Amino acid sequence: MKKTTILMGLTLTATLLVTGHDTYAETPTEKTTMAEIEVLKSGGIEPGKPEEPEEPIGPGIGTGDFTINAVSDFKFGQIKMGQTGKAQVEADKKLGIEVIDERGTGSGWNVQVSMTNFSSTINGNQDTIVKGWGLFIPKGEVSSKQGDMQNPPTSRSVVINSASVNETILTADKDKGMGRYTSIFMDDKTTDLDKSIRLVIPSYAKVGQYKAELTWSLINGPVK
C-alpha cells in the first residue's frame, strides 16, 4: 500500500533563505535562516489504483481525495424469528468504515447510513420483511496510522429500523477529520451482544433467506 500522509502527493517547494545583518540580530555563534514552503492539494487515490485500507475491514474501493475507501458488508448467518443475532466476523478481520479527507480545506464532513427493507434472495419468492426489523451499529473505535488523532472524527452508535432513513454514524467538525481514519464497529474478538452489530428479526417474519442494502453517504461539512 502506498504510504499516505496528510501531505500525500504534495509538491513541495522549499526555498532556504540566509538573511543578512539588516534583518535579524545575530551573534558570532548564532545565525537565523528561513524555510519557505507552498503546500499543494493532494491527488488522493487514483482511479484504477485502489489502496488497501489501514485495517482489514474490506477491499479498498475509493477514488479521489474525499472518499469512503472501504466499508464492510454485514453477514448475520441464521437468526430465529423473534430473536436478535450479531454479525459474523472472520478470523483476524474487523467490521468498520474508512474515510479519507485529503482535500486540505478543513471544512469537515459526515457519513450517513440508510438501509432498505429485507427481500427474499430466492428466485421467484416475493417475501419481504418491511417492519419489525432493527439494525444496531455500536459506536465505533476511531483509529488512524497517518491522520491527526488530536483532531479525529467522532463516531456515533445508530439504530436503523425504517427503510431509507439516514442516520449519521461518523462526523468531523471544522478542522477535524483531515487525513485517513477508520471507525471499527467490532472485530473477531467481540463477544458481548450489546457491543456488537446486531439485527432484530420480528416474530412474524416468514422463514427464508433475505438481504437488504445499506447506503453509506460521505457528505461535505459537519452535521448542523
Number of folded domains in the chain? 1
Q: Is residue 8 part of a domain?
A: no
Q: Which long-range contacts (CB under 8 A, 24 or more apart) does 79-82 make?
A: 79/199, 79/201, 80/201, 81/201, 81/202, 81/203, 81/204, 81/205, 81/207, 82/201, 82/202, 82/203
Q: Is residue 7 part of a domain?
A: no
Per-residue pLDDT for the chain (224 aa), expressed as one digit of tens each? 333 222 223 222 233 233 444 555 566 788 777 777 777 667 777 776 778 899 999 999 898 999 999 999 999 999 999 999 999 999 999 999 999 999 999 999 999 999 999 999 999 999 999 999 999 999 999 999 988 999 999 999 999 999 999 999 999 999 999 999 999 999 999 999 999 999 999 999 999 999 999 999 999 999 87
Q: Is residue 6 part of a domain?
A: no
Q: Which three cell numbers stand for residue 144?
A: 488512524
Q: Is residue 2 part of a domain?
A: no
Q: To 10 degrees, the CA torsion angle through 171, 174, 176, 182?
A: 20
Which pLDDT does position 29 carry in this prediction?
Answer: 84
pTM of the model: 0.81
Please name every residue paired with 220 in a beta bridge, in sequence order, or none if there are none: 109
Q: Which three cell numbers stand for residue 177?
A: 477529520
Which pLDDT does position 46 carry in this prediction?
Answer: 73
Q: Is residue 97 part of a domain?
A: yes
Cβ-count burial 16-33 (b if 16+ within 10 Å, e if not): eeeeeeeeeeeeeeeeee
Which pLDDT does position 16 carry in this prediction?
Answer: 29
Q: State the greatest distance between any 2 C-alpha atoms of the chain, in Å, as a whole number.
A: 89
Full domain range(s) for residue 84: 13-220
Q: Is residue 25 part of a domain?
A: yes
